[in-house]
Amino acid sequence: MLRINGRILKSVISVVAGSILSLAMSTTAVNAATESLPVLGDSGASVIQLQEALISRGFTLKGGADGVFSTTTRNTLKSFQRIVGFKATGTVDERTAKFLGLVAPKQLDSKALPVAGTKSEEVWSLQQALANNGVPVKGGADGVFGLATKIAIAKFQSAKSLPITQILDTATAAALGLISEAAVEKTVVSTGAVKAAAQPVVVSATVTSNEMLTIDTLPTRGQRSDAVRLVQEKLIANSIEVKGGVDAIFGLATSIAIASFQTSRGLKVTSAIDLPTAIALGVLPDMATLGIPQISVFPSQGRCSFADTWQQSRPGGRFHEGVDIMGVKGLALYAVVDGTITKMYGADAVLSGNALRLTASDGTYFFYAHLDSFAPGIAVGSVVKAGQIIGYMGSTGFAGSPHLHFEVHPKGGAPVSPYPIVKAVDACDVTDVLPQP
8 Å CB contact between 120 and 143:
yes
Query: In 3-state terms, the chain is what percent helix, strand and coil (to 5)?
Result: 30, 15, 55
Q: Stretch 410-425: mean pLDDT, rounded? A: 85
For residue range 69-128, what is the model confidence (pLDDT) as tens digits? 999 999 989 887 776 667 889 999 887 887 777 777 888 988 889 998 888 889 888 988
pLDDT at 297: 96
Alpha helices in 282-382 (DSSP H): 287-290
User: 56 versus 208: which is more confidently predicted?
Assistant: 56
Distances in whole angstroms, Cα of residue 20 to Cα of each of 3, 142, 177, 248, 362: 16, 8, 27, 43, 20
pLDDT at 308: 80
For residue range 289-299, what is the model confidence (pLDDT) as tens digits? 666 788 999 99
61 Cβ neighbours under 8 A, 6+ residues apart: 51, 54, 55, 72, 73, 76
436 Cβ neighbours under 8 A, 6+ residues apart: 387, 388, 389
- Cα gap 112→174, rounded to integer Å: 14
pLDDT at 139: 64
378 Cβ neighbours under 8 A, 6+ residues apart: 341, 344, 356, 384, 390, 391
8 Å CB contact between 226 and 197:
no
What CATH number belongs to 32-100? 1.10.101.10
Question: What's the CATH class of domain 219-283?
Answer: mainly alpha
User: 142 versus 253: which is more confidently predicted?
Assistant: 253
172-181: Cβ within 8 A, 24+ apart: 173/108, 173/110, 173/113, 173/126, 174/201, 176/126, 176/129, 176/130, 176/133, 177/105, 177/129, 177/132, 178/105, 178/107, 178/108, 178/125, 178/126, 178/129, 179/107, 179/108, 179/109, 179/110, 179/113, 180/107
pLDDT at 183: 66
- Does residue 7 carry a pLDDT above 50? no
8 Å CB contact between 407 and 321:
yes
Q: 176-190, 235-249, 272-286, 419-433 — which is least confidently predicted?
A: 176-190
pLDDT band at residue 5 under the 50/70/90 scheme: very low
pLDDT at 393: 97
8 Å CB contact between 301 and 332:
yes
- Identify the three-state secondary structure at position 99: helix
Count CA atoms closer than 13 A to 405's CA, side-chain side.
23
- Cα gap 209→281, rounded to integer Å: 11
Domains 32-100 and 305-423 belong to one CATH topology: no
Mean of the per-residue pLDDT values of the chain: 81
- Does residue 408 carry a pLDDT above 70? yes
pLDDT band at residue 58 under the 50/70/90 scheme: low
Q: Stretch 37-41: mean pLDDT, rounded? A: 90
27-30: Cβ within 8 A, 24+ apart: 27/94, 27/95, 27/98, 30/94
What is the Cα 414 distance to its own chain's centre?
A: 9
User: 302 versus 154: which is more confidently predicted?
Assistant: 302
pLDDT at 301: 96
- Does residue 196 carry a pLDDT above 70? no
CB atoms near residue 264 (< 10 Å):
12
For the chain, what are the domain ranges? Answer: 32-100, 105-214, 219-283, 305-423
Q: Stretch 214-236: mean pLDDT, rounded? A: 87
- Exposed e or buried b per residue across 303-320, where buried means at least 16 C-beta atoms within 10 angstroms of its C-beta: ebebeeebbeebeebbbb
Q: 101-110, 275-284, 333-342, 400-409 — which is least confidently predicted?
A: 101-110
Q: Stretch 202-225: mean pLDDT, rounded? A: 66
pLDDT at 211: 66
For residue range 347-358, what is the model confidence (pLDDT) as tens digits? 889 889 999 999
- Cα gap 16→28, rounded to integer Å: 23
Per the document, the length of the chain is 437
Q: Does domain 305-423 have CATH number 2.70.70.10?
A: yes
- Does residue 209 carry a pLDDT above 60? no
Question: What's the CATH class of domain 105-214?
Answer: mainly alpha
Q: 25-29, 68-72, 212-216, 241-245 — which is least confidently predicted?
A: 25-29
User: 151 versus 200: which is more confidently predicted?
Assistant: 151
For residue range 315-344, what is the model confidence (pLDDT) as tens digits? 777 788 899 999 999 999 999 999 999 999
pLDDT at 54: 84
The pairing of beta strand 403-409 with beta strand 365-374: antiparallel
Q: Stretch 182-210: mean pLDDT, rounded? A: 42
